[in-house]
Amino acid sequence: MLKITKKSLIIFIFFIFIGFILVLSPWYYLITKTFRVSLLKTLFSWNGLKKNNNQINFLILGIPGGNHDGPNLSDSILFANYNLSNNKITFISIPRDIWSPTLRDKINSAYAYGEYKKKGGGFDLAKAEIEAVVGQPIHYTLVIDFEEFKKLINFLGGIDVWVTNGFVDPKFPIPGKEKDPCNGDPEYKCRYETVRFNKGLNHMDGETALKFVRSRNAQGEEGNDFARGKRQLQVIEAIKNKIYEIIKTFDIKKITNLYKNVDQSIKKDINNQQLAILGKNIFLKGKISIANVSLPEDLFIIPLYSSEYDFKYVLIPKNNDFSKIHQVVDCFINTEENNACLNIKMK
């Protein structure tokens, strides 16, 4: 019979402890130093998050960044709601061409105007404008720099997107050529390139994915703002799937590089500690449901070009009343059956 002495037991426990430290210390460093998150606060705190009716609302903006014309204009606008009660996240695509009487411009200019007046002011102004559209308070804002986001998609090895409707856009703007005289060409063809997407599963690198979501001049129905919104939701879903694959590997090096790529791509007014507490809640609640929806087209009309809208192509709510839009958004975030919400507009 093997006799275990007190001394051998102490040695055994010591080596177990050393092994435990060697295995977990890289993860502890990653969480506390790289992510800048306190484990104690994450585990034992339920506070520190703004919310309303047990829900947290986010505004997610995608801006061109880089050398694009209008680098701070919002190419994409998403309203995201997280319901703590039923562990449901709802992404709602918002058309960027909605007219704002306050700005005397489209709502996609709010972040740019705010940043022009004061660094960081874009968050507040964009929140105020989108709150008026959706009828919900917005607690936090995330701004995605598309130029940096290309790098993230390439880091992920590209993404796979099912293209429901193939399309051709003969006038996709080439960055840096916005003011090129094109040797006197009256149609300024040198400023554009033709992009094409075939129906079916498409593997996209960062450059291709951004052309897919930013295309505005596609022939047919894919040329409108509502189709763009649906394509943006598809890309977000594809990126989410790739990120989840990396996290499941528990490869600390890959996860560290993933975090660095994401962090470089996004500006936000929510800190990592708050995100960690939010993530804990999602995890403890169990199965999460995610819905991707768009505001229905027939909630809006396209008014005639006039001085009232500075002769711009814009969208306005029917009867100049956002109340129906508010009802649809409220339905999307508070019911399980999103298709039922589409009938509200006809009541």
d(Cα 30, Cα 40) in Å, to the nearest integer? Answer: 15
In a domain, 7, yes or no: no
Number of domains in the chain: 1
Please state, in angstroms and as integers, the Cα–Cα distance from residue 127 to each residue in 38, 79, 109, 240, following that order. Answer: 29, 10, 12, 24
User: How confident is the model at residue 229, as a pLDDT?
Assistant: 85
Burial of 128 (0-12, 13-18, 19+ CB in 10 A): middle
User: How confident is the model at residue 140, as a pLDDT?
Assistant: 96
In a domain, 256, yes or no: yes
The encoded tokens of residue 113 equal 């105007």
In a domain, 26, yes or no: no
DSSP assigned state of 45: -
Per residue of the chain (347 residues), give pLDDT as tens. Answer: 455 565 555 555 544 544 444 445 676 667 777 778 777 777 777 667 899 999 999 999 998 876 666 778 898 899 999 998 889 999 999 999 999 999 999 999 999 999 999 988 999 999 999 999 999 999 999 999 888 888 999 999 999 999 999 999 999 888 888 888 898 888 888 989 999 999 999 999 999 998 998 888 888 888 888 888 889 889 888 998 898 899 888 888 898 898 899 888 899 999 988 888 888 888 777 788 888 888 888 899 988 888 888 888 899 998 888 999 999 999 999 987 777 787 764 44
In a domain, 62, yes or no: yes
CA angle (74 as vertex; 313, 260 as ends), nearest 5 = 160
User: How confident is the model at residue 226, as a pLDDT?
Assistant: 85
The answer to whether the CB of 131 falls within 8 A of the CB of 137 is yes
Could you tell me which of 99, 104, 131 has the C-alpha nearest to residue 320? 99
User: How confident is the model at residue 130, as a pLDDT?
Assistant: 97
Q: What size, in residues, is the chain?
A: 347
Could you tell me which of 155, 143, 169 has the C-alpha nearest to residue 269? 143
d(Cα 124, Cα 141) in Å, to the nearest integer? Answer: 9
In a domain, 174, yes or no: yes
Phi, psi of 133 (to 5 degrees): -75, -50
β-sheet bridge partners, residue 83:
55, 88
Residue 130: CATH number of its domain: 3.40.630.190
User: How confident is the model at residue 41, as a pLDDT?
Assistant: 78
The answer to whether the CB of 111 falls within 8 A of the CB of 126 is yes
For 184, the 3-state DSSP assignment is helix
DSSP H/E element including 117: helix 110-117
In a domain, 45, yes or no: no
Which residue range(s) make up the domain with 332? Answer: 55-340
User: How confident is the model at residue 17, as a pLDDT?
Assistant: 45
Which residues lie below 8 Å from residue 283, measured CB to CB, with a gap of 6+? Answer: none
In a domain, 11, yes or no: no
User: How confident is the model at residue 3, as a pLDDT?
Assistant: 57
In a domain, 34, yes or no: no
Quickly list DSSP for 290-347.
Answer: EEEEE--GGGEE-PPS-GGGTT---BEEGGG--HHHHHHHHHHHH-S-GGGGGGGGG-
